Chains A and B, each alone.
Chain A
Amino acid sequence: MPLSAQGESDERSVGAARERSAGRVVLEARGITKRFGTVVANDHIDLTVRAGELHAVLGENGAGKTTLMRILFGELQPDEGEIYLDGQRVRFRSPRDALRHGIGMVHQERKLIPAHTALENIILGHPKTGAILNLREAEREVSALCERYGFRVPLHAKVWQLSEGEKQIVEILKELYHGARILILDEPTSVLSPPEIVKLLESLTRMAKEDLAVIPFITHKLPVVLEHCDRVTILRRGRVVAEMETRHATEQTLAAAMVGREVVLQLERVEVPLGDPIVRVQDLWVRDDRGLFAVQGLSFEIRAGEILGIAGVAGNGQEPLAEALAGLRPVERGTITLDSIDITHAPVLERWRRGLGYIPTERREVGSIPTFSLVDNVLLNYHFEREFSRWGILASGQARELTERILREYSVVAAGPNAPARSLSGGNLQKVILGRVLSRKPRFLIACLPTHGLDVGAAEFVQRKILEAKQSGTAVLLISEDLDEILALSDRIAAIYEGQFTGIVPASEASKELVGELMAGLRRERV
């Protein structure tokens, strides 16, 4: 049921309403087709982008967004179809070639050199940067760009010191400095916190006013699309299923077009009678890798059947907090008790044995081993259990059975229990990790960004499983940068800012505005 495309006449009225110089077509892709073997990744895709517009491309993982993006910035050559820039047919042989024509690309993974400053990263590779660096002149130019679009980045800070949001801005600045007029952004909101997203989108809107075309490619975060983008093109299974103006769309219609069926966008909290406190944390102080206190005197408790959501901008101490609770980071001061037993300095395995479950943020680096089979990956949380290690020999039959059960119960799409973890998509891998951790029936579950980067369907599944764990009496600490998720699932919400709680509010009293202000450090409740 492709939604009807909007006509040309509508375009005029919107352009007028938004008072933008939109109208001139700057980028047009016609009939782009790309096959990989028998798979048609892009099937006659048309995309028209005008100057001064924020034109989002939506689609689930595997809908063909990445392929289209790679074609647009010259990394892949289409099998069929043409690309026109300002009405001229163009052919890009490489990303460099595309950039020469004014197409810049900001990837989802950062491609910056952490040990260099923001400014050095921005000017790296620019033709003007010859053998001798003229940093002062470059700085003037970059500062001018910042001012024009309202970016605020410490240009002389090393990149590793920057937040995710700042790093992304550095990448955007880099593309602009190198002359991009059309900016493609891959999942620009995925690593950002809500305030950072708002800031970024304001800047992008400002950029769009300056006659730049901005094309974000987005998997989730539909509200963002509705609020800030002018038009959307929606892909499903390699085809354009709809192209529309966002003012004619709702979150439901967008999601339905992406997935091809009606979806539940956000599960609702389930009320269960709370049990005894399972976890108690008192005056916890934890250092980060640089030796600074990233967690400063946090105290909280979580009861059986309760979800405590930690809302915060990335890098405000959530990660060190989770690691300290899981035993991966030493505690400087304070205590952690699990079922009234002090585990502040207990080794990792003792915590797991006492009923801890931990879903780490980094699925592929920490939560799994890409080259290992799924069975061996499941063993990460079981190798120390007697049933799985008899006389020092792995009980491979047992492990295989458990893995098969997880694959079945979590409807994981995989070639089988012996498939290597790297062959799984992010969503399926997360299901395996979740299934492995929840199969231990943890008393206390730490879930870090559990739905981060997953498409709508997988995210819904993961959230449902976390709610099920809660219903069976698990105490859950939910760390997420997705404020909507936190608000929807948590019983209480703790806002974290610079390692301290700025407030812990019950779900009934929490609003997006209140929590947003708390996590931005603009306001403090009595904790």
Chain B
Amino acid sequence: MGRAVKIAMAGEGGQGVQTIAQILTDAADFEGKEALYIPNFGVEQRGGVTIAFVQIGDEKIGAPKFKTADIVIALSGRAVRRTRMYAGPQTLFFYDSGIEGIEHDLPTNARQVLPIPALETANKTLNPRVFNILILGAVIGASRVVTIDKAQQAIEKRLAYKFEQNPELRELNFKALQAGIDLVAGMGVAI
């Protein structure tokens, strides 16, 4: 049966974490998999760290929240500090390599703690606007919970209104997705 893959993604409001959680779980739904996504919502979200809890598996998902994630991705210093509690011996803990001053905040009990140059890659080779899609690619690269095909389909569904106004955005987003996958592939890690 295979237990569900548990993913926690965290960032500052506006970094697009919840959007990519929706895209990721939409893609899983397109695959015919079972997915469960719950945002942290409420007062914490306002001016705080935004977190998406995602689980994807072959059977109906159990509880909506979990103690330990298989993959954590933290996109800001505050996000690192807020999400290190979800790390355990099985956890791949990714954080953006551009975040400064968090050396002592990183979890010490994770399977691996991995800096990824996501923001740098997005800024230099793509566009800062698709930073979150690049992160989505990284999550898919590390988890392999959905295929690129379904991920593209889910991006299409969620961002169709933007692509209508500017068709070039489609290609840019798909490139970012692939760039994220490649980033993780280059690191040789997967759950």
A interacts with B: no
Taking Cβ atoms with an 8 Å cutoff, the residues of A that contact B are: none
